[in-house]
């Protein structure tokens, strides 16, 4: 009985080993086949460098791409933004929501439409806060925002208010243009400040952004704006295909004025037929859950016209 049992066990072991070897060979064959297919796809994939335009402008001013370093710096920003697909797709989608808000304010203040792209590269059209404390679409520091009429307190921070901060940005841009008489220099000054830019111009005895040697960030700044403009104006030429339904729709809202303190914005939101999340999404400049002091002011809060936020 023991010998017979041992033989049966040996036969079972041999069978299991055989099955294992067949499975291993099948798996190896499949992996090898898939690897070859993957390699075939990789070999057939083509990464095409975007062409640097022979003629390009910013705010109606020509970008001198006949100067070799100017062309190469613009080329760099086109490459970076063309192949940073997730970020560029998001920017194009957000722009569909926010450009209709920003554009008429720029126009009313006599600021070239191209400056909407400055907001794109500053904040990505989000309520961004930099490590240094620059805040909102236009990345105002607290003191600069206040100097251009924005209220910045613990309860109200109008740097987050798209319309009001755009108005403030227009005031800055107009002041800078009165100083430099060049929109490209105005854009550069937005990054490094009017004083800092003025010093570099005096030191280097030139009067053009394209001729200046600047710190790494400002040296790329206007090129980044120009590259984003180029891609946004003809996205399909740079490989970005976005269906109309994929773009973020503008918010449809109406205004409700408040001239008295609000002790609980959660309850206030419910009284408006919405919730606290929706109220703060549309009014991010409200920095706390209550408003204790009005200071004699009246504030207009955005309330959605429909309940699309809940869908």
pLDDT tens sequence across 57-80:
999 999 999 999 999 999 999 999
Note whether 248 and 94 are within 8 A (CB). yes
Sign for the CA dihedral angle at 195, 201, 207, 213 comes to negative
Same domain membership, residue 271 and residue 230: no
Sign for the CA dihedral angle at 221, 226, 227, 228 comes to positive
Same domain membership, residue 236 and residue 103: yes
2 pLDDT higher than 80: no
- Provide the pLDDT for residue 282: 98
Same domain membership, residue 220 and residue 193: yes
Q: Does the residue 291 lie in any domain?
A: yes
Structure-block tokens of residue 208 = 């053009």
Across the strands, what pairs with 300? 257
Instruction: Tell me which of 5-14, 106-115, 299-308 is least confident.
Output: 5-14
Domain around 258:
253-310
Same domain membership, residue 220 and residue 105: yes
Same domain membership, residue 136 and residue 209: yes
Residue 29: Cβ-neighbour burial (10 angstroms; 0-12, 13-18, 19+): exposed
Same domain membership, residue 282 and residue 195: no
Q: Does the residue 50 lie in any domain?
A: no
CA 209 – CA 35 distance, rounded (Å): 51
The rounded percent of the chain whose pLDDT value lies above 90 is 79
**CATH number of the domain to which 179 belongs:** 1.10.530.10
Express each pLDDT in 192-205 by its tens digit: 999 999 999 999 99
Same domain membership, residue 273 and residue 168: no
Same domain membership, residue 240 and residue 108: yes
pTM: 0.84
- Total of domains in the chain: 3
Q: Left (φ > 0), alpha (ψ -120 to 50) or beta: where does 134 sit?
A: beta
Q: Does the residue 51 lie in any domain?
A: no
Across the strands, what pairs with 304? 253
127 pLDDT higher than 80: yes
Same domain membership, residue 182 and residue 257: no
Structure-block tokens of residue 53 = 């335009």
Task: Tell me the chain's radius of gyration from C-alpha atoms.
Answer: 29
N residues, the chain: 311
Same domain membership, residue 299 and residue 217: no
Same domain membership, residue 36 and residue 1: yes
Strands 253-258 and 61-63: unpaired
Same domain membership, residue 282 and residue 200: no
């Amino acid at each position: 009985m023991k010998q017979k049992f041992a033989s049966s066990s040996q036969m079972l072991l041999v069978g299991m080993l055989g099955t294992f070897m067949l499975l291993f060979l099948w798996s190896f064959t499949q992996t090898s086949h898939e690897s070859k297919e993957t390699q075939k796809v990789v070999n057939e994939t083509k990464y095409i460098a975007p062409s640097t335009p022979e003629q390009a402008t910013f705010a109606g001013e020509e970008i001198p791409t006949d100067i070799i370093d100017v062309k190469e710096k613009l080329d760099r920003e086109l490459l970076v933004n063309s192949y940073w697909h997730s970020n560029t797709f998001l920017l194009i989608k957000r722009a569909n929501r926010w450009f209709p808000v920003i554009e008429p304010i720029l126009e009313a203040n006599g600021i070239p439409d191209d400056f909407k792209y400055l907001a794109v590269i500053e904040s990505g059209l989000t309520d961004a806060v930099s490590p240094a404390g620059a805040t909102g679409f236009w990345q105002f520091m607290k003191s600069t925002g206040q100097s251009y009429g924005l209220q910045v307190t613990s309860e109200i921070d109008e740097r987050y208010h798209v319309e009001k901060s755009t108005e403030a940005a227009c005031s800055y841009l107009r002041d800078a243009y009165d100083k430099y008489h060049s929109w490209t220099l105005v854009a550069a000054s937005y990054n490094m400040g009017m004083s800092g830019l003025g010093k570099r111009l005096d030191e280097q005895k030139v009067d053009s952004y394209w001729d200046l040697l600047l710190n790494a960030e400002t040296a790329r700044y206007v090129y980044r704006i120009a590259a984003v403009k180029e891609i946004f104006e003809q996205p399909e030429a740079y490989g970005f295909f976005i269906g109309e339904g994929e773009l973020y729709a503008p918010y449809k809202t109406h205004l409700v004025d408040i001239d008295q303190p609000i002790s609980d914005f959660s309850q206030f939101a419910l009284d408006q037929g919405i919730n606290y999340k929706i109220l703060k999404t549309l009014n991010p400049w409200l920095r706390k859950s209550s408003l204790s002091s009005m200071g004699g002011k009246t504030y207009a809060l955005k309330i959605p016209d429909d309940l699309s936020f809940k869908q």
